[in-house]
Amino acid sequence: MMARSLKKTRLRPAGLVTVLLATTLLGACAGKGDLANSGIPVDVRERHPIVLRDAPRSLDVFVGRSGGGLDSRQAEDVAEFAQEYRRSGRGGLVAQVPTGSRREMAAHDTLNGIRSALARGGVSGQALSVRTYPVADPNLASPIRLTFASLQARLPHDCGQWPSDTGVSSFKEDMSNEPYWNFGCSSQATLAAQVADPIDLVRSRSEGRPDIAKRMGAIAKIRDGKDPSTQYRQETPQINSTVGGR
C-alpha cells in the first residue's frame, strides 16, 4: 500500500504538466470564431478603417530679413502647391501673414512673391484670402502659411495606442491568439498616405474607350487561323550588343 501511494504521488506533477501543455496547445489553435467573440475586431480594416474627410493642407513660406520676394526653391514650392490646389482643393486658399514683428515689410514683399508664384501655377490672386496672426517670439522665424482644404484618406485615430497589456497578464486573453489593438495600424496609415486620389478607395474609375481597330484585327487573325498575339520587332541595336565589340 505504501509503494502504491508513493507511485501515485510521483505521477501527479507529470499529469499536471500534461494538462497545462494541452491547454496551451488548444489556446494556440484558437480559430476565427473565438477571435470574433473578443472585444478587438479580427479584421485590421475594422480595427483601423481608412476614412475620407476634408482636412487642411498647408505650406509654410518663410520670410527673409531683407524681403525681396521668394527665392527659386520657395517659388517652385508655391507653384507646385498651386497645382495641387487646382487638382484637389475645396473652397478658397488662405494666406496667414505674421504681424507685430520687425519683418512686416519683408512679409509684404514675400506675399507679393507668393501671388506671382500662384499665378504661374494657374491660381489667380482672387482665390487668395489674406489673414493675419500675431507673432509670439520675434526672434523665431514666422512664416506665411498657405492653407486649403482637400479630401484626404486617413485613419480616425492615431497609431501607437495600447489599450490592453500585451504581456502575460491574463491567461485567458493571452492564450487565445487575439491580435493586439495596434497591430496593422501603421500599414493602414501608410496605405492611406500613399493614395493619390482618395476617391479610388471608394469606387473604381470608368474604363476608357477600347481600341476597335486592334480588336477587329485580332478577330480577323483568329478567323484566318493565325496567331492574334503581337510581335514587336526591334530595329535599333541593343546597348549590350555594342559593348565589348572591340
Nearest to 52 by CA among 142, 184, 128, 151: 151
Position 37 scores a pLDDT of: 45
What confidence tens digit (pLDDT) does each residue in 39-61 have?
Answer: 678 889 999 999 999 999 999 99
Position 27 scores a pLDDT of: 44
Rounded CA separation 226/149 (Å)? 56
- Fold of the domain built from segment(s) 52-153: 60s Ribosomal Protein L30; Chain: A; (3.30.1330)
Q: What DSSP line would sit under 136-161, residue for residue?
A: S-TTS--PEEEEEEEEEEE-SS-S--
pLDDT above 60 for 83: yes
pLDDT above 60 for 9: no
Going from N- to C-terminal start, the domains of the chain cover 30-50+155-202, 52-153
Beta bridge partners of 89: 150
Nearest to 66 by CA among 108, 126, 33, 28: 108
Nearest to 158 by CA among 126, 133, 192: 192
Question: What is the reported pTM?
Answer: 0.58
Nearest to 113 by CA among 71, 57, 66: 71
Distances (CA, A) of 141 to 11, 62, 90: 77, 7, 29
Rounded CA separation 229/211 (Å)? 15
Please check whether residue 141 is in contact with residue 62, taking contact to mean a CB–CB distance below 8 angstroms. yes
Pairwise pLDDT comparison (228 vs 147), residue with the higher score: 147
